[in-house]
Chains A and B, each alone.
Chain A
Amino acid sequence: MNDIRFYKILIAVNALIPLTLLAYDGWRAQLGANPIEFFLRTTGVLTLSFLIVTLAVTPLRKMFGWNSLIKFRRMLGLFAFFYATLHLLTYSVFDRSLSLSAIVGDVAQRPFIAIGMAALLMLIPLAVTSTNGWVKRLGGKKWVRLHKLTYVAAILGVIHFWMIVKSDIFYPALFGVVLAGLLAYRLMPKPAREQGLKSQVGR
């Protein structure tokens, strides 16, 4: 077994452990008094976590020269999409009883639902165009530009999280700070970044 394949399996298994534990706790009725709310919140937090990890790949590569990380980025992004889909399914089935009119009404009336839904819809084209075929078809530059939407989706995701809490903003704020840091790295002028790179890698 080569190393890349090993690490891919390692990441996939670790990415599915939260879902496994969630399902196991659900099966033995240990999700607390409001299992649906628990499932919704957990899948939401997992979506945001995977989005953040996906967005951290490029800064980590550049700062520490861990170039092979790029080989795992697609997979991490797809796990974000996977948990986002579970999040949406839970909401649609258990919160809105699969009623399209109830979902549309909710999106129209509740800004936090609209924002979450927008973030989720944005992830669909990104998941679809995540294949090598689509990278070729779009061309590298266009593909990269399209996939900057990940940042928009992550920002909307943090706002969505922030809007639903009553006063305990600690976790939304934590996600916000990390995301802002990743964004700031992107927006940093190139020379400064390269200097950082030199000092880190010792070229």
Chain B
Amino acid sequence: MSEKIPSSEITPESVYFNRRNFIKAGVFAGSALATAGTYRFFNPPPPPEVVTAPIGNVSESRSFSSTETPDTFETITTYNNYYEFSTSKNGPARAAEKFVTRPWTIEVDGLVGKPRVFDIEELLRLDQEERVYRFRCVEAWSMVVPWTGFPLKKLLDLVEPLNTAKYVAFHTYYNGRTTSPEAKLPPGPNGMQSSFSAGIDLPYLEGLRMDEAMHPLTLMATGIYGKLMPNQNGAPIRLVVPWKYGFKSIKSVVKISLTDVEPPTTWNLAASDEYGFYSNVNPDVTHPRWSQAQERRLRDSRMQPTVLFNGYGEEVAGLYAGMDLKKYF
């Protein structure tokens, strides 16, 4: 090091350390922002509240309604299982924003005297009732929802079921990527994901026994809180069967078929040891991986005991008289 560096070119010590500190501060701030950003990416802020039009012809009659306080509109519209859109709870609210539900038709066929296609506007002109129902998810959480809609029986009566009809099969709208032969449904712009991403075969299929379908508690819901059904809750029309686990209450229905054989159902096809055809709420039949004895009530985050048939035993226990509910779970 014999070469002379003029002293004027040597960075003064204070400047050198200042620069180092400056870089350190930059690294610090940059990494903190990146970490916070990563966290926010995986945990996005809640979606904005969805706005839908009010339903005009809702009757005041509240037959079968629970007297429990309903959960807020926000809870009901931001905590959804709708695997066609997202497998996270708050994902469907955003992912379903572009879901187009007009025009919409429901085809009703199979073992009926008068098969026909219903337009959603026609179904919305039927008298709608408000029903406040308890809703118990198979994942052991529950909420209370003020649905608006009409009994499924009203719709089925219009097509005149034949005596040979023993079951009712339901299909959800689907136009994502699928290998299922069932998917012969109209395409349209929407945010639906592939069957692969959802982890279940789509379109989503559900089914009820004829007497369950004709039961006065069984509802075709067209809205919540007196407003048209938000997309993430199964717009424009969905099934609600309050004494069964939530996944039985199939969303965005496009097809209903009456049959004489027990129809295949999506979760049963995915894991038959975990999800039965009946899937009645039953604290004594444990899910192979978790207990069904208790449920977390979303309103106050408290655990409470789960009740057989979700508390609707008085109305529906007769449907299962003599049946072994542990075998037919």
Q: Does B90 contact A (CB under 8 A)?
A: yes
B39 surroundings in chain A (CB, below 8 A): 17-18, 21
Give 1 or 0 for each of A99-120: 1 = CB within 8 Å of chain B CB.
0000000100111100000000
Q: Does B52 contact A (CB under 8 A)?
A: no
A35 and chain B: residue at smallest CB distance: B301
Q: Output the least CB separation between B124 and chain A (Å).
A: 28
Given contacts A17-B32, A33-B75, are A166 and B139 in contact (CB under 8 A)? yes
B270 and chain A: residue at smallest CB distance: A167
A14 surroundings in chain B (CB, below 8 A): 31-32, 35
Q: Using a CB-CB cutoff of 8 Å, which residues 116-139 of chain B contact chain A? A: 139
**Residue positions of B touching A, CB distance < 8 A:** 24, 27-28, 31-32, 35-36, 39-40, 42-43, 45-46, 71, 74-75, 78-79, 83, 87-90, 139, 141, 143, 197-200, 270, 286, 289-291, 296, 298, 301, 303
Extra pairs beyond A37-B141, A164-B290 (4, CB < 8 Å): A21-B39, A33-B75, A34-B298, A112-B289
B37 and chain A: residue at smallest CB distance: A17
Q: Does A131 contact B (CB under 8 A)?
A: no
A95 and chain B: residue at smallest CB distance: B303
What is the bound-complex CA distance between A13 and B289, given in angstroms?
A: 37
A6 surroundings in chain B (CB, below 8 A): 24
- Is there an interface contact between B199 and A168, defined as CB atoms closer than 8 Å? yes
Q: Which of B79, B87, B199, B290 contacts A34 (CB 8 A)?
A: B79
What is the bound-complex CA distance between A37 and B290, given in angstroms?
A: 14
- Is there an interface contact between A167 and B87, defined as CB atoms closer than 8 Å? yes
A111 surroundings in chain B (CB, below 8 A): 289
Sort A-B residue pairs by CB-CB distance and give the 7 closest, nearest first.
A167-B199, A168-B87, A33-B79, A33-B75, A14-B35, A17-B35, A167-B200
Which of A1, A18, A34: most chain B CB closer than 10 A? A34
- Is there an interface contact between B36 and A32, defined as CB atoms closer than 8 Å? no
Give chain A's interface secondary structure class.
helix
Q: Which of B40, B78, B87, B200 contacts A33 (CB 8 A)?
A: B78
Q: Does A187 contact B (CB under 8 A)?
A: no
Cross-chain pairs A/B with CB under 8 angstroms, 14 sampled:
A1-B24, A14-B35, A32-B79, A33-B74, A33-B298, A110-B291, A112-B290, A164-B290, A166-B199, A167-B198, A167-B199, A167-B270, A168-B88, A168-B199
B286 surroundings in chain A (CB, below 8 A): 109
Q: Output the least CB separation between B175 and chain A (Å).
A: 20
- Is there an interface contact between B199 and A18, defined as CB atoms closer than 8 Å? no
- Is there an interface contact between A34 and B296, defined as CB atoms closer than 8 Å? yes
